[in-house]
Chain A
Amino acid sequence: MTAPAPSRVTVVGASAAGLSVAEGLRRDGYTGRLTLIGDEPHLPYDRPPLSKQLLSGAWDADRLRLRSAEALDALDVELRLGIAAVALDTGAREVVLADGDRIGHDALVVATGVAARRLPGTDGVAGVHVLRTLEDALGLREELRPGRRLVIVGAGFVGAEAAAVARQLGTEVTMVTDAAVPLADALGPDLGAMLSQVHAEHGVRIVPGVLVDAVLVDAVLTEGGRATGVRLADGRTIEADAVLVGIGARPNIGWLATSGVPIGDGVECDATLYAGSGVWAAGDVASWLHPRTGQRTRIEHRTNATEQGLAVARNILAGPENATPFDPVPYVWSDQYDLKIQIYGQLRGCDRVRIVKGSLAERRLTALHGRDGRVCGVVGVNMPRATREYRPLVAEQAAWPSAVDLDPAPGAGPARGAGPAPSARQAPSAGPAPAPSGRNA
């Protein structure tokens, strides 16, 4: 170890990842100065409920608080909330804030997240929404009333969850998507089709749009400064009282443009989440070299924000020379109507799917996904506990033929008491003994 331990850590971004860095540092014994900067005026709050419980009105904003004021006090962290970081002076190791203040650091963590992509030319148009912040969700909530018409552009998880809530509130919903099957990209064609069917049964009108020059919706129609619908790139129009744009997000890296910190699709880190010059990154904004695939990877999911935050905290204290690679089993969940969907691993590019429990017809299932002969992910629909028990196969990237012979949770019996979680290796199985996995060979 050559670098001295840091005595001043500054974290830019006061959401899940930034908070997790702060908590991880304190838990691991860091006693130095700690500053948390956030451009939103709120204490750290949770975003997944924005498109679920907050949007539906089941929860008020206070319930989104990630930690109580007392718990934040106990962290002994200097909070600079409601002010954006506008630049990083890498030489001086100072963050420049919008009011000109400069905040020093030995180690800096970039946890600035992402911003929702918008349709060009829609700034300031009433009735056009994105869904990323508390204010976004509260604004959209105002639109969701019986008889109103909402058009959702894009069919990712945020759009699909908002569609479910909007239908439950009696709003007419049309979903425009460039994919033949919404969510097929995230879930594969079979599960995507099942989910589309569920949305259709709940009265969502799904309009597969046609991309023209990579554009799906080329204009929001307005009257008197308020949205009245959208025009698709192929010329069709859809009338609406409100528009939700759910077409993805972009990393918040503009403030680093002149800093010399490597940026591309996010802050470009090594496998340990280190970007050089005392700068680390965590959460949606971090693009790191995945230690197993060697590919640059960026994950916009809630659980990843926490896990990366904790990993960065450990690595800051270990120092860049002793930092360990970040090697997660990604996890994401989505709630739509009465479906709870959970995904471990990464399904993109998978070339095989096997439903190992339940069925599409029951809308209750666990489905293993494979790529290049190995398990790459598992998806659960309304089977969270059984699905989790397949996680070790994802973590091990178990060989596919042995994996499908395994039944890690025979019968999915009653809740267990204390004891180790059954791993695939020790599970009784009707099939032949599993071949040892190739990992760590």
Chain B
Amino acid sequence: MKISVDVDKCCGAGQCVLAAPDVFDQRDDDGIVILLDANPPADQYDNVRKAAAACPAAAIEVQE
């Protein structure tokens, strides 16, 4: 799995952090996504898919 995030599109909702806290975080000041792990282990795949689906700005792209 390869993850990319579009920080320009990110609206800082933090839905990705709620879904996959081991893979995503947010910057303190503006809430923009921080990708902690662009190639997460398999046990994170489901959470990452949920995060991408839940992102209200469609800012997370997942390639499998």
Contacts and interface: CB of A to CB of B under 8 A. Distances in A.
Interface of A: 16, 20, 23-24, 27, 46, 48, 63, 65-67, 302-303, 306-307, 310, 331, 333, 335, 340, 342, 382, 384-386, 388, 391, 412, 414-421
A418 B36 contact: yes
B36 A48 contact: no
Chain B interface residue bracket vs A: 20 to 34
B27 A385 contact: yes
A414 B25 CA distance: 11
A415 B49 contact: no
A333 B27 contact: no
Contacts of A48: 11, 56-57
Nearest to B25: A415
Nearest to B6: A63
A181 B58 CA distance: 33
B57 A27 contact: no
A384 B53 contact: no
Contacts of B15: 303, 331
B21 A384 contact: no
Contacts of A20: 53
Contact of A342 (B18, B31, B53, B57): B31
Nearest to A307: B54
A417 B36 contact: yes
Contacts of B12: 333, 340, 342, 384
A284 to B, nearest CB: 14
A303 B21 CA distance: 18
B54 A418 contact: no
Contacts of B9: 63
B30 interface: yes
Given A333-B13, A384-B26, A27 B21 contact: no
B17 A412 contact: no
Nearest to B26: A385
B34 interface: yes
A391 B30 contact: no
Nearest to A303: B56
Contact of A27 (B13, B17, B37, B49): B49
A440 B26 CA distance: 30
Contacts of B36: 417-418
Interface in B29-64: 29-31, 34, 36-37, 49, 53-54, 56-58
Nearest to B54: A306
B49 A385 contact: no
Contacts of A384: 12-14, 26, 30-31
